[in-house]
């Protein structure tokens, strides 16, 4: 498992976005869209954290072997990784707000890094813990969206 948690990777990506963004301000429509995407992303991640808490299982991405329950309902019925979708959504909101094509590169970098370095090892750990139940879940719910 990576030693850098995905929220830290997202913060680093946001820093890169800030560095490569155009210096001009975006218009109100773009800022409104960014706000809506950000609110939806926070709501998605928050609902998932609450659902994991209700299930009594960990949200710690650095040790998926500690998962005690396979959560497959709520946001996890739509995507297997709603917290990571939420983080990517926040980065997308930042890209909308800042403008420019280069601000989207860190979003893509975040998704690629988390997909390869975090999600793949998590899936192996969840398969080892939950076996056929996890296989059935994987078969019916997409990794991202």
pLDDT in tens, 9-52: 999 999 999 999 998 888 999 999 999 999 999 999 999 999 99
- The first and second tokens of residue 112, run together, are 């690629």
Query: What's the pTM?
Result: 0.94
- The pLDDT of residue 59: 93
% of the chain beyond a pLDDT of 90 = 89
Neighbours of 114 (CB within 10 A): 25
Tokens 């963004």: give the residue.
Answer: 21
- The pLDDT of residue 62: 85
- The pLDDT of residue 24: 86
For residues 65-72, give the mean pLDDT.
Answer: 93
For residues 65-87, give the mean pLDDT.
Answer: 96
For residues 73-87, give the mean pLDDT.
Answer: 98
DSSP 26: P
Helical packing angle, 82-98 and 105-113, nearest 10°: 170
- The pLDDT of residue 61: 86
Helix ranges restricted to H, the chain: 6-20, 28-55, 82-98, 105-113, 120-130, 132-140
- The first and second tokens of residue 86, run together, are 């939420």
% of the chain beyond a pLDDT of 70 = 99
- The first and second tokens of residue 20, run together, are 């490569």
Q: How far is CA 82 from CA 31, 42, 51, in A?
A: 24, 10, 11
- The pLDDT of residue 63: 85
Radius of gyration, CA atoms only, the chain: 16
């Amino acid at each position: 498992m990576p030693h850098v948690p995905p929220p830290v990777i997202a913060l680093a990506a946001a820093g890169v976005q800030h560095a490569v963004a155009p210096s001009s301000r975006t218009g109100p429509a773009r800022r409104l869209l960014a706000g809506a995407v950000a609110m939806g992303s926070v709501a998605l991640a928050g609902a998932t954290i609450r659902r994991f808490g209700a299930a009594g299982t960990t949200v710690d991405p650095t040790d998926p072997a500690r998962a005690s329950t396979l959560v497959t309902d709520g946001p996890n019925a739509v995507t297997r990784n709603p917290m990571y979708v939420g983080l990517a959504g926040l980065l997308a909101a930042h890209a909308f707000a800042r403008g420019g094509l280069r601000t989207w590169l860190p979003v893509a970098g975040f998704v690629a890094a988390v997909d390869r370095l975090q999600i793949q090892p998590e899936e192996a750990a969840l398969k080892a813990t939950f076996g056929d139940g996890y296989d059935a879940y994987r078969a019916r719910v997409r990794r991202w969206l």
